Structure 1
Amino acid sequence: MKIVDLLNPAAIIADLEAVEKDAVLEELAGAANKIEKGLEHDEVLRVLQERERLGSTGIGEGVAIPHGKLRTIDQLLLSFGRSRKGVDFDSLDGKPAQLFFLLLAPEESVGVHLKTLARISKLLKSPAVRQRLLGADSGDELYRIIGEEEERL
């Protein structure tokens, strides 16, 4: 499954306002809520924060992929946010995160959830892709870049 098939452009935040980890989760959850009206915002935050307590989803190189599973959804949901300044996300390399993919999955999903996490990670592994995303002017351009770069995977 392609990232652009799961990512609605309305769920992209080109310039996150958050300056701390919990606020990033809150903003990204709000973006997901724009496209999936039935989401329980507090439940989404609880699931994400619970996952972060197990270990940071900041994978390093300026990237974080917060994720969690919900009983109340029947398909994968993605949102994306960018912080040009960076946010301390307790990343593995100790560096601030700037590019964030939020992934919400149905509680029963396993394979597709893990494959999507791997695909996002593979996409953002390239320094050139990360630089393109950091330099984008708008949410529409971010979406276009993700689609273009994903075709190269």
Structure 2
Amino acid sequence: MDLIKKLELPCFEAQIKISNKEEALRIVARQAVQHPSLSAINPDEIFEALQTREEIGTTGFGDGIALPHCRMEGATEFVVGAISVTDGVEFDSLDGRPAKLLVFIIAPANEARAHVRLLSSISHTLLIPGAVDEMLACTTAKNLLDSFTRHLQDEVETTDHQSRNMVHLVIQNESMFHDLLSVFMGLPSCSFIVVETSNAGAYLANMPLFAAFWKEEEVQFSRMIVGSIDRTMCNEMIRRIERVAGSLKECRDILLTVQEVFFTAGGLIE
């Protein structure tokens, strides 16, 4: 998806004031229909779709960022835009903080998989150190578009290759699990599953020989993501993981292994 070429300046607005969440969603709808592919759709329809999505769960994921998004029957391509809010707006964010940057996606109704990958990719773009601060400092829509585009270019485009690697990511830090899971959702051509695992101590505690060293109640969170990934995407995957977890060399609750595979075929239902 060559999203950068589809970004339209009228879908961006810098440093405006918004009084509440409903007004924010209406402004998003108003900006979205400025895109040529949505010009025939009534902004009220987009607002209602955005509102329905918010009823499922807030898209204000914290740190001053909200990602309102929805799927529309009348949308023929993905429409993305951004709005910065001068004093922030209450958005039912997970951390309770006002949203200062709204990045929206209006997606075709039949493109759920691509929608999820785009959502994940944008969320990781916003994790780039300094990216959000730079966007919030922009005083014009043009500057905001340029900043958003520049950071989006840091993400890798989808390519099709035959050579693949097998990846195992063991996570013992529950607070990072969802962010690390979204890394894999945002990677192109990646098939993966999540396996519930147990620390070795959970078993050793039940062995008489080692019972004195571990207690059963000390069992901690443990999950493993197992996946197949395009070999050319491995460096990008590691970069995104370290964007969430910090240097893997310093981690004591995350373990990543990447192996070359002789043969792989098929896919997985996510």
Change (3 A) 1:3 1:125: farther
Q: Which has the higher helix share?
A: 1
CA distance in 2, matches of 1:2, 1:82: 24
The aligned residue for residue 93 of structure 2 is 91
Maintained 8 Å contact 2:18/2:88: no
> C-alpha displacement at 1:2, in angstroms?
4.8
Maintained 8 Å contact 2:17/2:86: no
Of the structure 1 ranges 8-17 and 59-68, higher mean CA displacement relative to structure 2 is found in 8-17
Q: Counterpart of 2:131 in structure 1: which amino acid?
A: V
- TM-score normalized by the length of structure 2: 0.54
**Percent identity over the alignment?**
27
Which residues of structure 2 form unaligned runs of 5+? 156-270
The aligned residue for residue 18 of structure 2 is 18
> C-alpha displacement at 1:19, in angstroms?
1.4
Q: Counterpart of 2:44 in structure 1: which amino acid?
A: D
Q: Counterpart of 1:102 in structure 2: which amino acid?
A: F
> C-alpha displacement at 1:16, in angstroms?
2.8
Cα RMSD, aligned residues only = 1.4
Change (3 A) 1:6 1:63: farther
Q: Counterpart of 1:43 in structure 2: which amino acid?
A: E
The aligned residue for residue 75 of structure 1 is 77
Maintained 8 Å contact 1:3/1:120: no
Q: Counterpart of 1:121 in structure 2: which amino acid?
A: S
Q: How far does the alpha carbon of each residue in 1:99-122 deviate from its partner, in whole angstroms, 9 at most, with x for none?
A: 111111111111211111011101
Maintained 8 Å contact 1:16/1:24: no
Computing the radius of gyration over CA atoms, which structure comes out larger, 1 or 2?
2
CA distance in 2, matches of 1:88, 1:151: 30
Q: Which has the higher contact order (CA 8 A, sep 6+)?
A: 1
- TM-score normalized by the length of structure 1: 0.93
Q: How far does the alpha carbon of each residue in 1:17-49 deviate from its partner, in whole angstroms, 9 at most, with x for none?
A: 321001011011101112231112111111110
CA distance in 1, matches of 2:18, 2:51: 16
Maintained 8 Å contact 1:47/1:70: yes
Of the structure 1 ranges 12-21 and 64-73, higher mean CA displacement relative to structure 2 is found in 12-21
The aligned residue for residue 5 of structure 1 is 5
CA distance in 2, matches of 1:122, 1:5: 19
CA distance in 2, matches of 1:2, 1:87: 31
Q: Counterpart of 2:98 in structure 1: which amino acid?
A: P
Change (3 A) 1:120 1:3: farther
Output aligned runs, 1:1-153, within 5 Å: 1-35=1-35, 36-153=38-155
Of the structure 1 ranges 38-47 and 50-59, higher mean CA displacement relative to structure 2 is found in 38-47
The alignment covers a number of residue pairs equal to 153
Displacement over 3 Å in runs of 4+: none
Q: How far does the alpha carbon of each residue in 1:50-80 deviate from its partner, in whole angstroms, 9 at most, with x for none?
A: 1101110001111101111111111111221
Of the structure 1 ranges 71-80 and 1-10, higher mean CA displacement relative to structure 2 is found in 1-10
Which residues of structure 1 form unaligned runs of 5+? none
CA distance in 1, matches of 2:135, 2:68: 18
CA distance in 1, matches of 2:112, 2:6: 16
